[in-house]
Structure 1
């Protein structure tokens, strides 16, 4: 596995047999299959993507990954933050592509622009332009166009920005953020916060914080920091706590990720 770090994470990988255990991301995943048959269980069915086809996985949807034949499969993928998509949609629920695989030319074009020049970091404006195209294309080609009120959108935006600010201030990510705090900030009940944050950003506030911790953990692992130190520095109770969340989110363990990053 190799990665190119630009505005967001891009991954290139080749696997035989079972690639990933069941897991879910808190981001969209846009993947272009480049070799073999990329197969995965998604929303109760086994899906298949052939070379040139595009996989689009919705945030927080459980899936795995495996070769669909005895031959290996390969793909290039990019993670897309639902926050970036929501900043474009401005209050519409996150679009959902039923089935997770598409042959639609507009998605193939976007995927190729994001992933073809894999070793060249994306320019910021280039990345923003393509994310805008992705968000609009996804909304236009799906049936999910439910509009939430502007008050709802702005309230959840305040919640997200508060979490981001707290995490920025506390570099260890060990701060304990509560739903009661978020309810005061949004002027909602805490259960409304959980429901509406998920509708707009594809995950709950707790999972959003956990993702931030995991992102820091991955960065530290890739720098060669010992796993015991990584877990402490990224705000987890201990290494086993980090490992459970890491595997649930990425389908592999921190130790395996460290080996792939070497």
Structure 2
């Protein structure tokens, strides 16, 4: 990481870098405040590599030192900042709860309450997922590591046999339907409704919303929004103008994109574009 640690006005420049060929793995470095309070709709698995990574999580200020792992549960509010006057750096991967639920098959999403771990299992998994940024992960390689992550998290959280009351088969059908809509050309103009999803699930729309959140850690609406934000991130990193990014990813306008982007990622699209640009200079 030494080639990225350039000084600007006596301080380490903040930057964010993407892993080769992917959008879900990042390497980042920050001084001072990094992220405003926000919540993801995915798991975050991060390995601290420099300094002290601090964040408020579930009512307490947490700290992660180099070699320690941060594991954030979907839909849990947190921020991010340097724990000292020195900068901090980390590598992280966002893990879709869908991938975890495909392994759990209806069990409750496992939860690490403290958010920080030195458990050798998590350190090993994070190291393997995040060690090589100059190549994409092979599909089988990533699948095996996500399986190890889900299994280890189940064991640590103690809910390895605890199942939800949600109809896993019906909600899986709903989620696959949403994915199909999002991948079509008309995805940006298609206004998905709970009534529509209830027909797919063949039961109450309110139960669909409740069960979807129970299994995937988020609501159907936020799941759709996250898909659009992921597309927006990729377009931003290609250097597209933000107004065009908003239109292409299904948001009403740039301010609409900015509001959702900050709620999900703790920073604005404009700042994200600058951070990504800083990693290449």
Q: Is the pair's TM-score, using the shorter chain for normalization, greater than 0.5?
A: yes
Which of 116, 121, 133 is residue 101 of structure 1 equivalent to?
A: 116
User: Which residue, out of 245, 257, 267, partners 1:242?
Assistant: 257
Does the CA contact (< 8 Å) of 1:214 and 1:246 recur in 2? Answer: yes
Q: Does the alignment pair 1:74 with 2:89? A: yes
Give yes or no for the alignment of 1:214 onto 2:214: no
SS at structure 2 position matched to 1:55: strand
Match of 1:153 among 165, 168, 178: 168
SS of 2:230's partner is helix
Q: 2:133 aligns with which of 113, 118, 133?
A: 118
- Counterparts of 2:168 and 2:209 in 1: how far apart (Å)? 13
Question: Residue in 2 aligned with 1:194?
Answer: 209
Distance 1:131 1:6 in 2: 18
Q: Which residue of 2 aligns with 1:43?
A: 58
> Helix, strand or coil for the counterpart of 1:193?
helix
**Aligned partners of 2:248 and 2:220: how far apart in 1?**
20
Q: How does 1:110-189 map to 2 (within 5 A)?
A: 110-145=125-160, 146-148=162-164, 152-170=167-185, 173-189=188-204
By how many angstroms is 1:35 displaced?
1.0
Output the TM-score relative to the length of structure 2.
0.90
Of the three residues 57, 78, 92, the one matched with 1:63 is 78
Q: Is contact 2:20-2:136 (8 Å) kept?
A: yes
Counterpart in 1 of 2:270? 255
1:29-40 equivalences under 5 Å are 29-40=44-55
8 Å CA contact 1:8, 1:78 repeated in 2: no
Q: Which segment is superposed worse, 140-149 or 126-135?
A: 140-149
Q: Residue 259 of structure 1: CA displacement?
A: 1.4
CA distance in 2, matches of 1:72, 1:236: 34
Contact 1:14 1:74 (8 Å CA) reproduced: yes
**Secondary structure of the residue that 2:135 maps to in structure 1?**
coil
Map of 2:245 onto structure 1:
230
Structure 2 unaligned spans of 5+: 1-15
Q: Structure 1 242/8 Cα, relative in aligned 2: closer, same or farther at 3 Å?
A: closer
In structure 1, the partner of 2:31 is 16
> 1:120 aligns to what SS in structure 2?
coil
Instruction: Tell me the distance in 1 between the aligned counterparts of 2:92 and 2:239.
Output: 23
Paired residues, what number? 261
Cα distance in 1, alignment partners of residues 146 and 198 from structure 2: 30
The answer to whether the Cα contact below 8 Å between 1:16 and 1:73 also exists between their aligned partners in 2 is yes
**Distance in 2 separating the partners of 1:205 and 1:76:** 29
User: For the residues of structure 2 that align with 1:86 and 1:173, how far apart are their CA atoms?
Assistant: 26
Asked if the contact 1:172–1:232 (Cα under 8 Å) also holds between the matched residues in 2, the reply is no
